[in-house]
Amino acid sequence: MLAAGTFSNKTFFITGAGTGIGKAFALRAAALGATVALGGRREDPLRETSAEIAEAGGQSLICPIDIRNPDDVDATIARVVAETGHIDVLINNAAGNFVARAEDISPRGWNAVINTVLNGTAYCTLAAGKHMLNQRSGKVLSISAAYAWHGGPGTAHSAAAKAGVIAMSKSLAVEWGPRNVQVNCLCPGFVDTPQSRTALWPTVEGQQHILGSIPAGRFGTIEETIEAGLFLCSPAADYINGEVLVIDGGQWLNKGAFVLPEPGHRYDKV
């Protein structure tokens, strides 16, 4: 566990901060002393997250944003810097995805995932990175997935986007490292949340199939995921750069745990 005050006087910008893992990142970063800029397309969830942070004594900014729009990204990052004086940590958490057979993915569906996961991450990273480079310090953490390199059924579009995020992160780590900006990725496995229970293992059979592929024999928790990610954002990780940290109980070593739906059936992946 990170020590109290680890992120005192630090400003975080977190995309997808209104729900799920993004919200958990925001709450925990604020609890550790950060001022958290909450990014997301829907304002109501951001306000709920902000209210929880305020109730716990923390500070936050509500930043409605469409990360697919580079002008919107630039303006939002500029606002965060203007209001807080700096930006120290960027967490690229926002994503869009669905599981589908490759032959069923339309150009529109392909672009929807690429524009959010790869392009949106790039726009945020480059916009925040300029400020970090000017202040000669900063950390970028992008959420990816292990199937970006080992592949997986139903993930052609998402795997391509997330592989691009990893390649970009490694390249920026080399380019920006000499100027004291570290760029890393976190690859969570199957995390037990209400959303994942509905979308990823809606049946007992599906749940057991996934669990059977995880050497740890259980799903991950949000707390484990968040703590590992925030470690990479902390001063303790100043010498970690260009890393891809997988936190999935060893499941990626077994690969192929996910079962495709029957043709014609699709559901959202969270």
**pLDDT confidence of residue 257:** 52
Paired sense of beta strands 244-247 and 181-188, if any: parallel
What residues are paired with 11 via a beta bridge?
35
Residue located via tokens 């990610």: 229
Annotated catalytic, 267? no
**Token pair recorded at residue 107:** 């150009």
- Which pLDDT value is given to residue 151? 83
How would residue 265 be classed by pLDDT, with cut points 50, 70 and 90? very low
Q: CA-based diameter of the chain, in Å? A: 52
Q: Are the CB atoms for 132 and 117 separated by under 8 Å?
A: no
Whether the per-residue pLDDT at 92 is higher than 60: the answer is: yes
pLDDT digits (tens, 9 = 90+) for 122-132: 999 999 999 99
Q: Residue 98 has what pLDDT?
A: 83
Catalytic residue among 123, 147, 239, 267: 147
- What average pLDDT does the segment 78-92 reach? 98
Nearest to 89 by CA among 239, 245, 234: 234
Return all residues near 154 (Cβ < 8 A) that are at least 6 apart: 99, 100, 101, 258, 260, 261
CATH class of the domain comprising 11-190+222-252: alpha beta
pTM of this prediction exceeds 0.85: yes
Mean pLDDT in residue range 215-230: 95
183-199 pLDDT tens trace:
999 999 988 877 677 76
Q: Given this model, what pLDDT does residue 266 score? A: 43
Q: Is the pLDDT of residue 154 over 80?
A: yes
Tokens of 123: 């726009």
Q: Are 51 and 26 in contact (CB under 8 A)?
A: no
